[in-house]
Structures are given as structure tokens and as C-alpha cells.
């Protein structure tokens, strides 16, 4: 379930072509379980109709501070008091300047000024031409808005309606939704550095063939996202998968097990959390051919010999122990049978405080999973559900363990 579920958000639209994205944002918020109250400026109505936003939100849209539907004629008070947050998307350069100076000449700005500062956060998603965005006046305004406690989202980069290309685009609806998820998520890992490995590795036999496995990387990517939502600084070392990088996560792409070990050693924090989710190939061909191995019609198969790949989790865990660092290592075991026995043995062998087991053939490529958490005291099951939900539960469990260790 989304951390936004049950929230009530006032979605404000100021004037700008990016208002078309606000329709998709409104729809996404409702789908996430949010009740959405739309408030539009007169300029916003030049780009998007109130009818559209009413249909998507399921609530009447407010466009005037003189709206007679409010018995006390104080929409700016009533609407702001009911909200868990006010989100202005798009926020034009003019509207942000108005916020900075306390302007209140229409309902949306009046409502932003009248909101209880300690109860109703204000979040703005800027949208404007690249020259307007880079103008020193705009940048001063953004800096001061942040100093005033207003949460200013990033801008996107790319083609703009004016025909120019650069910074200043409003973020896409799914990006804003992700930032709102992060804003409302409990920051149980605030200040922590988290390193996650995900996906398979690929060990070359020749330039066109190799050894790999069926890991999709979805569990590891979900864990990286959940750690970021929990306030951590997250680096994701990913094997060859075609998944989008979770928003706010630094990604390092690798191919082989040795590549992954090198990347992990370069990014592993001295203090923090290492979650080894990747399904690393246990072996690799001893000598990869420089050219494609061809059939010769004899029926004879090529002779392949293998060598063992480095054990990334054990290497990192032993290094952390030797240096007496504060690195909390979490391993993953993808098994085909006897999960508890194999996971328990693997945890002891790797010398890590927590080992997470799952049945690989049942979960590879799927969006759901079931996990078994194994530590020195026994095992606990996390029930079958989506990988995103399991990732949140796992991060909460890790945070509790870190809290206990720090206490």
C-alpha cells in the first residue's frame, strides 16, 4: 500500500503548458488512495479546464476566492485546514515569486499564505522555460522559498513547448508521485548509506554466449527504492537488467561477478548497510574465447572448464569485521528447495547477521515474492505479497535491527 493512501492533498495549478501533466498527476494520486481537491488560478484555466480536473478528482474544482459554495465564504481557510499537504504543480515563475513575497490576490496564493505552517506542508513543482529557470532572480526565489520551509521539487530536462531544450520542465507525474511518496515516508534510515546489489551477472563463454540466470533484479530494485524512501543515501550496483533506476538512487551498471565485486568495493560504505540481493554466478568459464566458438559438423562439443567466482557478500562481510566497521551486511539466498536449511547454513557460512531466503524459480521475473528472514535467533516469514511491499517491510526490519545495535 502506498504511503499516500488516506492522505488529503490540495492540488494547485498555476498557469503553464505543463498543466496537462497535472491531469495525469491527479489521476495517479487518486489511484494511490489520495483524496484530491483541485484549486486553479485564472491563468491555469487557459491551459486546462476545471471540468477535466473535476472528472479526474471526483470533487468540485475551486477557481475563485469568492466561491459561494463555502458557507462562510472562506475557501482559503477551509481548504487549507483540511489538507495533509498543498502541492502546486505546475508552479510558474510568477507564482513562486508571489509565494516568496506573500502575495495573495487569488484563491491559490491566498490559501498557501493562510495554511498552518506547522501542519500543512507546501510542495511546489516548478515549470518554465529554461532561460526563466536559470535566471538569477528565479534561482534566488527558489533558494529563499526553500529557506522559508517550502519544499521545492527538482525540474526536468528536455524539449520544451517553446521549441527550446534544457532545464525547467515540470517533472513527469510519476516522478512527482514518487517524490511525494518519499516526502511522506517515515525516515527510518535517515542519514544512513545503503549499498544494494541486484540482478544477475553474466559470465562470457565467447563474444556471443555466456552463463547467467533468470534473476530479473526486481527485488533488489524494490529494496533500493524502499531504502531511498526511508531517507537513506542509496547506491545500486546492477547486473544486466532492463529496469528503470529508482528515483533518487545512484546506479552503477556491471556485467560479470568480478565487475560487481570491483564496483561494490569502490562504493561500500564504512558505516551503513550492504544488501547483497544480486544472484551472482557461482562459476565462470576459465578461459573465454576471443571469437565465437563454431560447430564443425563432427558432433563434438567444446570442452569448457570453470573456475569459482569471488564471493562478494563474504568478502565484504569479512572485510567489515576485520576493520571493525559499522557495516550491517544482509545476504540473499535464492534456493530451489529446503529453504530454511540452506538459508541457515548460508548465513553461518557468510558470517552475516541477517540472511533473506526465497525460492528462486517461484519468484524470478515476477512482481511478487515471499521472504524468510534468518538470523542468529531463528527465522521469520514475510508473507507472499508484492516485491515493493516486501522491500518496505525488509527495510523497516533492518532499521529496527540498526536501532537495537546502536542502543
Contact 198, 224 (CB under 8 A): yes
Per-residue pLDDT 10s for the chain (407 aa) are: 688 999 999 999 999 999 999 999 999 999 999 999 999 999 999 999 999 999 999 999 999 988 888 878 888 888 999 899 999 999 999 999 999 999 999 999 999 999 999 999 999 999 999 999 999 999 999 999 999 999 999 999 998 888 889 999 999 999 999 999 999 999 999 999 999 999 999 999 999 999 999 999 999 999 999 999 999 999 999 999 999 999 999 999 999 999 999 999 999 987 899 999 999 999 999 999 899 988 888 888 888 899 999 999 999 998 877 676 789 999 998 888 888 899 999 999 999 999 999 887 788 888 999 999 999 999 999 999 999 999 999 999 999 999 855 53
Residue 97: how many other CB atoms lie within 10 Å? 15
Together in a domain, 238 and 377: yes
Could you tell me if residue 294 is inside a domain? no
Could you tell me if residue 14 is inside a domain? yes
**Distance of alpha carbon 346 from alpha carbon 355, whole angstroms:** 8
DSSP state of 172: P
Could you tell me if residue 92 is inside a domain? yes
Last residue of a domain, one of 138, 156, 184: 184
Q: Say how many domains are in the chain.
A: 2
Give the phi and the psi of residue 282 in degrees, each rounded to 5. -70, -30
Residue 242, pLDDT score: 93
Residue 334, pLDDT score: 83
Together in a domain, 234 and 165: no
Nearest to 376 by CA among 394, 354, 356: 354
Together in a domain, 174 and 269: no
Together in a domain, 174 and 198: no
CA atoms 133, 135, 138, 143: torsion sign: positive
Together in a domain, 209 and 353: yes
**By residue range, what is the domain housing residue 153?**
8-184
Together in a domain, 148 and 220: no
Contact 323, 299 (CB under 8 A): no
Together in a domain, 155 and 244: no
Residue 326, pLDDT score: 84
Residue 407, pLDDT score: 38
End-to-end Cα separation, the chain, in angstroms: 30
Nearest to 34 by CA among 57, 6, 10, 58: 6
Residue of 26, 112, 162, 329 marked catalytic: 162
Our answer to whether residue 26 is catalytic in this structure is no
Together in a domain, 149 and 220: no
- Say which CATH number the domain at 308 has: 3.40.50.10300
Last residue of a domain, one of 167, 184, 201: 184
**Distance of alpha carbon 70 from alpha carbon 83, whole angstroms:** 16
Residue 404, pLDDT score: 58
The SS3 of residue 371 is strand
Last residue of a domain, one of 184, 210, 234: 184
Could you tell me if residue 291 is inside a domain? no
Could you tell me if residue 245 is inside a domain? yes
Residue 320, pLDDT score: 79
- Say which CATH number the domain at 56 has: 3.40.50.1950
Together in a domain, 343 and 384: yes
**Distance of alpha carbon 119 from alpha carbon 111, whole angstroms:** 14
DSSP state of 334: E
Q: Which three cell numbers stand for residue 188?
A: 527510518
| Pairing verdict, β 35-40 and 271-276 | unpaired
Which are the contacts of 365, defined by CB distance < 8 A and separation ≥ 6?
214, 216, 218
Together in a domain, 86 and 148: yes
Residue 130, pLDDT score: 95
Could you tell me if residue 199 is inside a domain? yes
Residue 405, pLDDT score: 55
Together in a domain, 59 and 171: yes
**Distance of alpha carbon 331 from alpha carbon 277, whole angstroms:** 7
Q: What share of the chain is helix, strand, coil (3-state, %, to 5)?
A: 35, 25, 40
Could you tell me if residue 295 is inside a domain? no
Could you tell me if residue 393 is inside a domain? yes
Together in a domain, 197 and 130: no
Amino acid at each position: 500500500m502506498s504511503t499516500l493512501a488516506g492522505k488529503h492533498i490540495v492540488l494547485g495549478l498555476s498557469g503553464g503548458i505543463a498543466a496537462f501533466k497535472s491531469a495525469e498527476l491527479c489521476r495517479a494520486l487518486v489511484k494511490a488512495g489520495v483524496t484530491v481537491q483541485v484549486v486553479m488560478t485564472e491563468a491555469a484555466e487557459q491551459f486546462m479546464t476545471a471540468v477535466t480536473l473535476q472528472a479526474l478528482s471526483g470533487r468540485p474544482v475551486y477557481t475563485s476566492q469568492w466561491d459561494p459554495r463555502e458557507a462562510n465564504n472562506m475557501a482559503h481557510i477551509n481548504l487549507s485546514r483540511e489538507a495533509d499537504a498543498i502541492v502546486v504543480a505546475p508552479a510558474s515563475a510568477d507564482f513562486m515569486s508571489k509565494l516568496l513575497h506573500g502575495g495573495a490576490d487569488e484563491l491559490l496564493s491566498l490559501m498557501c499564505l493562510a495554511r498552518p505552517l506547522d501542519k500543512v506542508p507546501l510542495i511546489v513543482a516548478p515549470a518554465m522555460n529554461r532561460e526563466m529557470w536559470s535566471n538569477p532572480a528565479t534561482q534566488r526565489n527558489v533558494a529563499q522559498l526553500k529557506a522559508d520551509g517550502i519544499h521545492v521539487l527538482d525540474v526536468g530536462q528536455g524539449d520544451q513547448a517553446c521549441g527550446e531544450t534544457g532545464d525547467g520542465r515540470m517533472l513527469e507525474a510519476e516522478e512527482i508521485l514518487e517524490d511525494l511518496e518519499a516526502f511522506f515516508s517515515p525516515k527510518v534510515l535517515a542519514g544512513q548509506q545503503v549499498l544494494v546489489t541486484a540482478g544477475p551477472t553474466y559470465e562470457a563463454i565467447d563474444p556471443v554466449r555466456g552463463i547467467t540466470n533468470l534473476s530479473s533484479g526486481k527485488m533488489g530494485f524494490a529494496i533500493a527504492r524502499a531504502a531511498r524512501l526511508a531517507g537513506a543515501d542509496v547506491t545500486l550496483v546492477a547486473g544486466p537488467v532492463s529496469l528503470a533506476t529508482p528515483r533518487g538512487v545512484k546506479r552503477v551498471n556491471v556485467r560479470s561477478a568480478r565487475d560487481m565485486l570491483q564496483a561494490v568495493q569502490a562504493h561500500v560504505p564504512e558505516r551503513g548497510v550492504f544488501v547483497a540481493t544480486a544472484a551472482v554466478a557461482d562459476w565462470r568459464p576459465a578461459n573465454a574465447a576471443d571469437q565465437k566458438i563454431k560447430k564443425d559438423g563432427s558432433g563434438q562439443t567444446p570442452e569448457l572448464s570453470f573456475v569459482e567466482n569471488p564471493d562478494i557478500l563474504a568478502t565484504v562481510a569479512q572485510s567489515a569485521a576485520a576493520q571493525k566497521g559499522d557495516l550491517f551486511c544482509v545476504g540473499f539466498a535464492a534456493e530451489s528447495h529446503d529453504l530454511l536449511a540452506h538459508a541457515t547454513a548460508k548465513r553461518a557460512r557468510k558470517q552475516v547477521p541477517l540472511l533473506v531466503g526465497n525460492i528462486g524459480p517461484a519468484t524470478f521475473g515476477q512482481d511478487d515474492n515471499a521472504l524468510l528472514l534468518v538470523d542468529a535467533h531463528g527465522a521469520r516469514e514475510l508473507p507472499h505479497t508484492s516485491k515493493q511491499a516486501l522491500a518496505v517491510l525488509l527495510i523497516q526490519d533492518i532499521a529496527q535491527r540498526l536501532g537495537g545495535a546502536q542502543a
